[in-house]
Amino acid sequence: MIEFGFALKQTRSEDLDKTSLERFHRLLELTPSFKRCFQCGNCSATCTARQFTDFSIRRVHTSFRRGEYDGLAEELRKCMLCGKCTLVCPRGVNLRSLIINMREILDEPQKTGKR
């Protein structure tokens, strides 16, 4: 088999009957600039924490957007809040504020039975 250096990802689907986006909508209220994110990955490419760990801020905020919150609180502890990602974002997303708000929301007790 030819090795192309990349692999196709498994197909995935989101079951909105089981997934609540309540926390994501709350995050948009607190950091409205996140609505402008177009998933370019600049934030991850320049991340200070990424130089020392497997942390990916893009992966974290994409998971948050999808309502997949498992393990995100632990991941976010790798961020040093240096603010470099905010400086390089081409859409002006306030990532530092986004990260702080994601941490706070993930710490809040949940009201719904959905995950």
One of 59, 65, 96, 103 touching ligand SF4 (CB under 6 A):
96
Binding string, residues 33-62; x marks residues near ligand SF4 by CB under 6 A: ----xxxxxxx---xxx-------xx----
The piece of 2-10, 18-26, 65-73, 91-99 that touches ligand SF4 (CB under 6 A) is 91-99
Q: Which residue reads 């893009």 in tokens?
A: 58
Q: Which residue reads 């949940």 in tokens?
A: 110
H or E segment at 62?
helix 57-65
Q: How far is the CB of 70 from ligand SF4 (least distance, A)?
A: 19
User: Does 84 help bind ligand SF4 (rule: CB under 6 A)?
Assistant: yes
**Between 23 and 50, CB nearer to ligand SF4:** 50
Q: What's the DSSP call for residue 99? A: H
Q: Which residue reads 């992966």 in tokens?
A: 59
Q: What is the per-residue DSSP string for 7-34?
A: -PPPP----TTT---HHHHHHHHH-GGG
**Between 83 and 115, CB nearer to ligand SF4:** 83
One of 24, 31, 64, 85 touching ligand SF4 (CB under 6 A):
85
User: Does 87 help bind ligand SF4 (rule: CB under 6 A)?
Assistant: no
C-alpha closest to that of 83 among 100, 102, 97, 96: 96
